[in-house]
Structure 1
Amino acid sequence: MAENSNIEWTHHTFNPWIGCTKVGPGCDHCYAESWDARGLQQRETRWGAHAARTRTSAANWRKPLAWDRAAAAAGERHRVFCASLADVFDNHASIPPEWRDDLWWLIAATPNLDWMLLTKRPGNIDRILPHGWSGGWPNVWLGCTVVNQAEADRDIPKLLAAPAAVRFLSMEPLLGSVDLRHWIGSQPYLPGASTHVDANGYERQDIGGGIIDGLDLVIVGGESGPGARPMHPDWVRSLQDQCQAAGVAFHFKQWGEWAPGFFGNGQPLGCFNDAGEWVLPVQREWAMQDRQLMTRRGKARAGRMLDGRSWDEMPGLRS
Structure 2
Amino acid sequence: MTGIEWTNQTWNPVTGCDRISAGCDHCYALAMAKRLKAMGVDKYQRDGDLRTSGPGFGVTMHPAALGIPLRWRTPRLVFVNSMADLFHARVDEDFVRDVFDVIRATPQHTYQVLTKRPLRARRMADKHLEFPPNLWLGVSVEDQDAADSRIPHLQAIPAAVRFLSCEPLLGPVDLDAHLFPDECAGGCGCRRPDDPDRHECGCGAGCADRRVAPALDWVIVGGESGPDARAMNPDWVRDLRDQCSDSGVPFFFKQWGGRHPKQLGRELDGRIWGQMPQSCPAISK
Does the pair score TM above 0.5? yes
Distance 2:229 2:221 in 1: 15
Opposite residue 179 of structure 1, the aligned amino acid is: D
2:60 aligned partner = 54
The equivalent of 1:309 in structure 2 is 271
Query: Superposed, which structure 2 residues align to 1:153-302 within 5 Å?
Result: 153-184=148-179, 188-189=180-181, 214-257=215-258, 298-302=260-264
Which of 126, 143, 147 aligns to 1:152? It is 147
Would the aligned equivalents of 1:46 and 1:54 in 2 still touch at CA under 8 Å? no
Question: Structure 1 residue 114: deviation in Å?
Answer: 1.4
Q: Indicate whether 1:124 and 2:120 are aligned.
A: yes
Query: How far apart are the structure 1 equivalents of 2:157 and 2:265?
Result: 34
Residue correspondences, number: 245
Q: Shift of the alpha carbon at 1:44? A: 3.8
1:241-296 Cα distance to aligned partner (Å, 9 max, x none)? 00000000000001111xxxxxxxxxxxxxxxxxxxxxxxxxxxxxxxxxxxxxx6
What's the offset of the Cα at 1:52?
A: 4.5
CA contact (8 A) 2:79 2:112 kept: yes
Distance 1:22 1:190, change over 3 A: farther
- 5+ residue gaps, structure 1, are 72-77, 196-201, 204-211, 258-295
Do structure 1's residue 25 and structure 2's residue 22 form an aligned pair?
Answer: yes
The verdict on how the C-alpha distance between 1:43 and 1:113 changes in structure 2, with shifts beyond 3 A counting, is: closer
The counterpart of 1:141, out of the listed 132, 136, 139, is 136
What is the CA deviation profile of residues 145-166 of structure 1, one whole-angstrom value per residue up to 9, with x for unaligned ones? 0000111111111110111111
Among 27, 45, 48, the alignment partner of 2:47 is 45
Determine the structure 2 residue equivalent to 1:5. 2
- What amino acid sits opposite 1:64 in the alignment? P
Give the aligned residue type for 1:117. V
Q: CA deviation at 1:17?
A: 1.2
Partner of 1:287: none
Percent identity, please: 45
Distance 1:226 1:119 in 2: 24
Q: Please, which moves more after superposition, 47-56 or 95-104?
A: 47-56
Question: Is 1:64–2:69 an aligned residue pair?
Answer: yes
Which structure has the larger Rg over C-alpha atoms? 1
Paired with 1:140 and 1:43, the residues of 2 have a C-alpha distance of: 29
CA distance in structure 2 between the partners assigned to 1:303 and 1:167 by the alignment: 27
Query: How large is the RMSD of aligned CA atoms in angstroms?
Result: 2.6
- For 1:79, the equivalent position in structure 2 comes to 77
How far, CA to CA, are the matches of 1:214 and 1:88 in structure 2? 23
- Offset, 1:213: 6.1
User: What secondary structure does 2:165 align onto?
Assistant: strand
The alpha carbon displacement at 1:190 in A equals: 5.1
- Structure 2 counterpart of 1:79, which letter? L
Higher relative contact order (CA 8 A, sep 6+): 2
Once residues 125 and 142 of structure 1 are traced to their aligned partners in structure 2, the CA distance between those partners, rounded to angstroms, is: 10
Q: Is 2:32 the counterpart of 1:35?
A: yes
Q: Cα–Cα, structure 1 residues 167 and 12, in superposed 2: closer, same or farther, change >3 Å?
A: same
Given that 2:220 and 2:251 are in contact with CA atoms closer than 8 Å, whether structure 1 keeps it comes out as yes
Q: Compute the displacement of 1:137 (Å).
A: 2.5
Residues 82 and 118 in structure 1, CA contact (< 8 A), matched pair in contact too: yes
Match of 1:292 in 2: none
TM-score, length basis structure 2: 0.79
Runs (4 or more) in structure 1 with deviation over 6 Å come to none
